[in-house]
Amino acid sequence: MTLLRFAPSPTGSLHLGGLRMALYNHLYSRKNNGKWILRIEDTDATRYVPGAVQEIQAVLLWAGLDYDFGPGKNGPHGPYFQSKRLDLYQDYAKKLLESGHAYRCFCSLDTLTETREKLARTGSNLTYDKRCLHLTDEEVARRVKAGEKSVIRLNDGTLPDRSTVRDLVFGEIRDAHLSLGTDPILLKSDLYPTYHLASVVDDHEMGITHVLRGEEWIPSLPLHLDLYASLKLQPPRFAHIPILLNPDGSKMSKRTGDVSVVEYIRNGWEPEALLNWLALTGWGARHQPMSPFSSSTAQRQVQAAPDSTSILPLPSLISQFDLTALTHRSSSLDQQKLRYLNRQHIALKAATPEGLHQLAMRVHGLVKEVFPHSLYASVENTKKAVVALEGRLENMAFLPVLVPYLFEDPNLASPEARSMLSSRKITEEQREPLNDMSQPETNPKSKQDQPREWVPETLYHVLHEEQKRLGVQLKMFMLTLRHALTGMKDGPGIVQIMCVLGKERTMKRLR
């Protein structure tokens, strides 16, 4: 079975890059009839943020990314917090010591700094002189018994040359070992593991078959493969995903509030639109897959990547997802595309009774807050407002600002309403006949044209006939009605507005 994991650290709010990584793990596992684990990598106690785990879970729930195993979901792979797996890491570190693939290092921080600087002055590529590697077993045992603090280092001298590594996205990566430090630390003096040891042990123990993670971990891939080899374990397949950048080209960070997923939730963005946006950012390459794990048939059948503004709900993203179509470079997020996608996803939801009700219920609290005294701030009226806005609604949070006149009387004293009057340049002689439509009792002809049914088809006919009867230009006629009904220059069509307002409110405003 295909099994993946999303392994965030609880050191702050989940940012957009983290949600995208969770999404890609979800897409790959579901497309391959697999499952995925939520694993919390909380071994760095100094950076732990209370409530971060609960926030991660809440964000994944909001986004509809339902992990199969993890906190709150029992499974055969637990515990799902690394801080509760410390004995396991120490057991594996002991195996490495016994096999000679690791050794204890007693050097102090001052000694390590001095050694590193000395090596750098000589032009050496080493970052440590391996002095503790040459300690005898008796000396090591004596110092451990005396209570001296030590770390456990990997003995890279026992490992094969690994000048290239393979990746499901980037293919063959050359000179991969050049970026590694000398004999990397695996277990710290406080008995907590480094990321390298913990992730390898957990991925093996949990049965992970594929690791999808950010490209910043590419330099560590050779080390992780070395650990698998030293422990005589079969490694999973690795896919490193190019990272997302802020619009200014800087790397995303949990300390940057404007990329926090929670902020996007608070600001009213649709989860489907956010996932659509994140998935398609960087998903657009059409290069041949270079992975040695892909079959020759798969390499011939390169699937065309979707356009960056394709409207793809989660099931469509799952069916179309293709690791080989990911770009090999970092990508910047385009907020304009999010606005476009959000508008389209709102329209898709509003087209079904269930989706429309969901949208209205979600924004109803905001409508009540903005119009606390309105008699028309109901869920049903909110639904009508969403429908009237059709494809105009970019964000549900904007609804009260776009159509306030659907919930309360328009402010005809506003600068916008006054500018509409001045721009029309309608004379008093022209203005007076327009009142006929709202005064049927004083105009028999107008009375005959009054709509018997307050439905779009009838209203279209009545307005057309009234405009012809008055002999007023269509643009002037519609602008006059828009001013009286809304006091705003832009918005839904007049007929749509009249349908939402109903006959009584419409006639009152015309009068």
- Which 3 state secondary structure label does DSSP give 129? coil
Find the helix packing angle between 494-510 and 474-485, rounded to 10°: 70
Q: What are phi and psi of 68, to 5 degrees?
A: -90, -35
Q: Of 173, 214, 209, nearest to 195 (Cα)?
A: 214
Q: How far apart are CA 103 and CA 236, in angstroms?
A: 26
| Token pair belonging to 286 | 């059409």
Asked if residues 424 and 480 have their Cβ atoms less than 8 Å apart, the reply is yes
Asked if residues 25 and 6 have their Cβ atoms less than 8 Å apart, the reply is yes
Find the helix packing angle between 474-485 and 415-424, rounded to 10°: 160
193 prior amide bond cis, ω within 30 = no
412 burial level (CB within 10 Å; 0-12, 13-18, 19+):
middle
Q: How far apart are CA 59 and CA 262, in angstroms?
A: 7
Whole-number Cα distances in Å, 34 to 23, 61, 195, 354 = 14, 19, 25, 30
What region does 211 belong to: left with phi over 0, alpha with psi -120 to 50, or beta? beta
Which residues are part of the catalytic machinery? 254
Q: What are phi and psi of 199, to 5 degrees?
A: -70, -40
Task: Report which secondary-structure segment, H or E, holds 354.
Answer: helix 353-370
Q: How far apart are CA 312 and CA 498, in angstroms?
A: 34
b/e string for 67-76 if b means 16 or more Cβ within 10 A? bbbbbeeeee
Q: Of 343, 325, 216, nearest to 276 (Cα)?
A: 343
Q: Of 489, 347, 342, nearest to 418 (Cα)?
A: 489
Q: How far apart are CA 111 and CA 123, in angstroms?
A: 19
Q: What is the DSSP letter of 388?
A: H
- Which 3 state secondary structure label does DSSP give 88? helix
Whole-number Cα distances in Å, 17 to 249, 260, 370, 469 = 14, 9, 33, 61
Task: Report which secondary-structure segment, H or E, holds 35.
Answer: strand 35-38
Q: What are phi and psi of 243, to 5 degrees?
A: -80, 165
